[in-house]
Amino acid sequence: MISRLVPTLGLMGSVVVANVSVRHCMASSYLPAEADGGLASESTCPLGTTEACNTYGTQTCISAPGVTLSLGIWGPCSCPSVPVCTPGTSQSCGNCGTKTCDSCGQAPTCANQGLCTPGDRGPDGCYEGEDAVCSPSCEWVCP
């Protein structure tokens, strides 16, 4: 605290000396998550704006309780997970199946699989008791 003697004018124009104190105050610290009713201040955005998220997705700023009329918070990302592949690419999987990467960079389960794994020998069913063999296109064929 700093104290100073400051001359001031009295009621009748005479000089009166007063002791004035000045305090240097600092606001107590708080975490941004405590501001705006628990919303992190970094998450506020101008309502209606859109930004990229998770490489291939977008998210839009939406209104939220405790935020001003012109600010909101980021809504959910249209692509909820981090990408694992490039959209539109395909790769083989399983028994001659394929996985095609979707617009968010996710590869769904293996699709269009065949009946067997190439090179496997299958059940009897061919001529004179021979085993069927799985072809490169994942179909049982007789040798």
**Phi, psi at 32, each rounded to 5°:** -55, -30
64-88 average pLDDT score: 92
Taking only the tens place, the pLDDT of each residue in 77-98 is: 999 999 999 999 999 999 999 9
pLDDT value at 124 more than 90: no
pLDDT value at 133 more than 80: yes
The pLDDT score that the predictor gives to residue 27 is 37
Per-residue b or e along 114-135, where b marks 16 or more CB atoms closer than 10 Å to that residue's CB: bebeeeeeeeeeeeeeeebbbe
Q: Using the 8-state DSSP alphabet, how is residue 35 labeled?
A: G
Domain map (residue ranges) of the chain: 2-26+38-74, 83-112, 114-143
Cα separation, 28 vs 131, whole angstroms? 81
Taking only the tens place, the pLDDT of each residue in 24-54 is: 433 333 333 333 344 444 578 999 999 999 9
